[in-house]
Structure 1
Amino acid sequence: MTTADSINSKELETLSNTPQARSEKDMENSAPVKKDLDEGTTVEDAEPIGDAEKQAPPPTITFPDGGLQAWLVVLGAAIALFCSFGYVNAFGVYEAYYLSVLLKEKTADDIAWIGSIQICFIFGSGLFAGSIFDQYGARIILIPASILLVASVMLTSICKEYYQFLLCQGILGGICQGALFTPAVGVIGQYFNKKRAAAMGMVVAGSSLGGVILPIMIANLIEKTTFGWTVRAIGFLFMGLLWITCVTVVERLPHRSGTFFLPEAFKDPVYVLLVFGNFFILWGMFTPFFFIPTYALKLGMSHSMSVYLVSILNGLSFPGRILPGYIADRFGRMNCIIIAPTVTGILIWAWLGVKSATGLIVLTAFFGFWSGSSISLFPAVMAQIVPNPREMGTYIGMAMGISGAAGLTGSPIAGALLTKYGYTAAISFAGSCIIVGTTLLIAARLIYNPKIFAIA
């Protein structure tokens, strides 16, 4: 019997022929082991082989866990998130400007639909982007997405009507940003294992950096020039940055073959609970991002100061996306992903008691840190439960696709509640969603490892 026959998997045979797999095979013991190597981490990707065939070792998948190429991938992926989620994180500035200048006849929930549609398509397009990345590679999707995202920003600069903003900024922008986001997150799992949460945190921190720089850039340019040239400046910035992403972000494992989606993932209760836990958390998470600037105006803050609140939120989100990654790699990613949304939910409920500008600034800072942790840890946890690293893009993409409905409806629901009942109703909706999502994450953690104090 041949080795391929004993494993009975064409996919594992392909993996065993990669240079990384051939160089790391253990010729003495065929039982699956997990060991640390000087140059990285090796994880076995096969079932135990019978005694009669111990001379034929199972194939392995290696993770560099560092090196020039791996860190260049982190850089390119972080830039992709700067231009995708970083731009969405700045939507609070657009919300305030559209309400007060360009679209004064529209309500808060009307304008929130622009950002919500954008978020929806970022997640929803990941449903396809993840599978395309797994089966055909990164550049086939990153290059056209980069070109079209720049076109989307440039078209937004000449928009005048509400429907035009929906089409250009919401739909086209969201689709392109999702096509950038999913491969950028999925590729990290092919390069990192032991340091995966830390590397993922650095990548997701790119969106925080965008959320700091872009609102300040928009606010200052609008005072010195027109709205059109302000937005066009963002487009030229993206044009200069995204070529780095297209050059550096490249997969290292063989492409996956087979079905476009992987519905068998939903047979795993841990995966299902993580996906729907993330759904509810995102359903409430973006309410502060969208409505803290308008709440600041309600408290009597100046327009410029309300804009800087968005930068404060995203500025504190930056360390909140990096530091928990290092902690999670040591104390368990599943453990940390429960703590972060728990504190985030408490802070959202605390928003009900904020009645002063100083209190809002303090709340914004703390919310920025902990919400950043909630967002950055989810891809790392998802990568931890994926059975094969070559399926990571599809697993994450399917999860993001389901979360698209949360991104689409969360902020408009909060905006409608705000318009009809006030901030108390909108804040209560967001806080309740976080509670439900955190409960589902706790259930996923206990199924994954029932030991309460275990590192998981």
Structure 2
Amino acid sequence: MTTAASISSKEMETLNNTPQARSEKDLDNSDIKREEAEEGTMVEQANDTEKQAPPPAVTFPDGGLQAWLVVLGAAIALFCSFGYVNAFGVYEAYYLSVLLPTRTPDDIAWIGSIQICFIFGSGLVAGSVFDRYGARIILIPASILLVTSVMLTSVCKEYYQFLLCQGILGGMCQGAIFTPAVGVIGQYFMKKRGAAMGLVVAGSSLGGVILPIMIANLIEKTSFGWTVRAIGFLFIGLLWITCVTVVERLPHRAGTFFLPEAFKDPVYCLLVAGNFFVLWGMFTPFFFIPTFALHLGMSNSMSVYLVSILNGLSFPGRVLPGIVADKFGRMNCIIIAPTVTGILIWSWLGVKTPAGLIVLTAFFGFWSGSSISLFPAVMAQIVPNPREMGTYIGMAMGISGAAGLTGSPIAGALLEKHGYTAAISFAGTCMIIGTFLLICARLIYNPKIFAIA
């Protein structure tokens, strides 16, 4: 595998010329500069001239065997992390009808919401650890613990046990796998970054297709415990590929653990806030479309397949927009995707038949996939130093964890007290606010409306 040693001297010069890298040298350089000023030498003038010259650009492979192996390993990481969460709608329906029938929909939704919260929240730490120490120091222990959490879920009986094993432990491990898998892509791709990120995030869609069907079929033929254990064995066979192939390309950064100066950038702040509201509303259909299908009179098996339809259509929705975004601007496309997604959520209010729900699920799957896949690509675009990419993405994901934690339970509580209209309205309103904030970020980044940004 290529390591940091493969970086050229010009690239190292660029990386070491960032504001953070220069600040780390200020103390040592101050004495030398003072002596040069006192002596009146020409060295200071030469240094000033050199400082004014722009540093050479960092190059990106944008392809090659190792780069595409990293994409493969990262896609597998998202298959086992977000792909597993995307299948939670199946768990929601099964817990309500079989394992935990005395619990309310918002009680069950807390399991998945806590899982989502920790996936995002653990990125706050995982992103900085990745930037400072590399990918494998996180991926290997997180993969082992994720398999452990799945195996423990298979023997759970009580509500609090599912919260601990599937929600907290599973979410923390999935977040520790998810963040470096997304952050490393920006070190290998520039021109094709949107397409590469789309392929990686499409791994979660593939998991959302395969895992619900796998769960539904195995539960009919065997017990819940052995169904979940089969998923654990599948993860064992997949995650070792991630641990081998996902490796950083750029040197590790030094300095502070977090990068609070990122929040001085209004574009970054608006992107984080916009993503927060988008995620706050977007997971409601993922969690409650299966129960809405049962409400319309569909069979339990068909409601499970709706989850697979949703995630199956999100596969092209995560790949194709990334390719388009590389040509027409990632900032532009990240506005279009949540706009259409929000319209589809509001359209949910008019669905009265199973056929209509199937059509809505298909369209929602495509456009929601676009919203998820484009955000990491946009974040990578605004990061000033590629070595800080994991930290920037991790801090954004950490803030978004609160949206993942509270969004679906709020929708579940509204569903229980006021029906589906209230839950859908909450999700749709969140999408409107999130889209508005993303538009503001785009206009600050580039005020020209029709520019490729």
Indicate conservation of the 8 Å contact 2:7/2:250, yes or no: no
User: Cα distance, 1:62 vs. partner?
Assistant: 1.7
Match among 264, 277, 285 for residue 261 of structure 2:
264
Distance (whole Å) between structure 1 residues aligned to residue 299 and residue 389 of structure 2? 45
Indicate conservation of the 8 Å contact 2:293/2:357, yes or no: yes
Match of 1:298 in 2: 295
Give ranges in structure 2 of 5+ residues lacking alignment: 23-45
Match of 1:22 in 2: 9
Indicate conservation of the 8 Å contact 1:20/1:62, yes or no: no
Match of 1:132 in 2: 129
Distance (whole Å) between structure 2 residues aligned to residue 140 and residue 333 of structure 1? 31
User: Secondary structure of the equivalent of 2:297?
Assistant: coil
Q: Deviations over 1:273-318 (max 9, x none)?
A: 0001000000000000000000000000000000000000000000
Are 1:98 and 2:85 counterparts? no
User: Cα distance, 1:52 vs. partner?
Assistant: 4.4
Normalising by structure 2, we get a TM-score of 0.91
Distance (whole Å) between structure 1 residues aligned to residue 57 and residue 396 of structure 2? 27
Indicate conservation of the 8 Å contact 1:142/1:246, yes or no: yes
Residues 44-59 of structure 1 aligned to structure 2 (within 5 Å): 52-53=49-50, 58-59=55-56
Are 1:212 and 2:209 counterparts? yes
Match of 1:415 in 2: 412
User: Cα distance, 1:323 vs. partner?
Assistant: 0.1
Are 1:424 and 2:411 counterparts? no
Match of 1:455 in 2: 452
Match of 2:319 in 1: 322
Change (3 A) 1:393 1:74: same
> Percent sequence identity over matched residues?
86
Distance (whole Å) between structure 2 residues aligned to residue 55 and residue 454 of structure 1? 29
Match of 1:72 in 2: 69
Distance (whole Å) between structure 2 residues aligned to residue 329 and residue 90 of structure 1? 30
Are 1:398 and 2:395 counterparts? yes
- Please state which structure has a larger fraction of its residues in helix: 2
User: Cα distance, 1:61 vs. partner?
Assistant: 1.9
Distance (whole Å) between structure 2 residues aligned to residue 93 and residue 415 of structure 1? 16
Indicate conservation of the 8 Å contact 2:198/2:322, yes or no: yes
Distance (whole Å) between structure 1 residues aligned to residue 51 and residue 283 of structure 2? 54
Change (3 A) 1:373 1:109: same
Distance (whole Å) between structure 2 residues aligned to residue 329 and residue 389 of structure 1? 18
Distance (whole Å) between structure 1 residues aligned to residue 373 and residue 353 of structure 2? 30
Change (3 A) 1:435 1:22: same
Distance (whole Å) between structure 2 residues aligned to residue 69 and residue 56 of structure 1? 33
Amino acid at match of 2:7: Q
Residues 232-311 of structure 1 aligned to structure 2 (within 5 Å): 232-311=229-308
Amino acid at match of 1:127: L
Indicate conservation of the 8 Å contact 2:312/2:365, yes or no: yes
User: Secondary structure of the equivalent of 2:8?
Assistant: helix
Match among 131, 138, 159 for residue 141 of structure 1:
138
Number of aligned residue pairs: 424
Match among 170, 174, 181 for residue 171 of structure 2:
174
Change (3 A) 1:55 1:298: closer
Amino acid at match of 1:359: G
Are 1:153 and 2:150 counterparts? yes
User: Cα distance, 1:366 vs. partner?
Assistant: 0.1
User: Cα distance, 1:57 vs. partner?
Assistant: 8.1
Match of 2:184 in 1: 187
Distance (whole Å) between structure 2 residues aligned to residue 197 and residue 58 of structure 1? 25
Root-mean-square deviation over aligned CA pairs: 2.0
Change (3 A) 1:296 1:25: closer
Change (3 A) 1:107 1:448: same
Normalising by structure 1, we get a TM-score of 0.90
Amino acid at match of 1:21: S
Are 1:347 and 2:344 counterparts? yes
Distance (whole Å) between structure 1 residues aligned to residue 289 and residue 175 of structure 2? 25
Q: Deviations over 1:30-75 (max 9, x none)?
A: xx9xxxxxxxxx9x9699x978449998354221000000000000
Distance (whole Å) between structure 2 residues aligned to residue 320 and residue 55 of structure 1? 44
Distance (whole Å) between structure 1 residues aligned to residue 49 and residue 451 of structure 2? 37
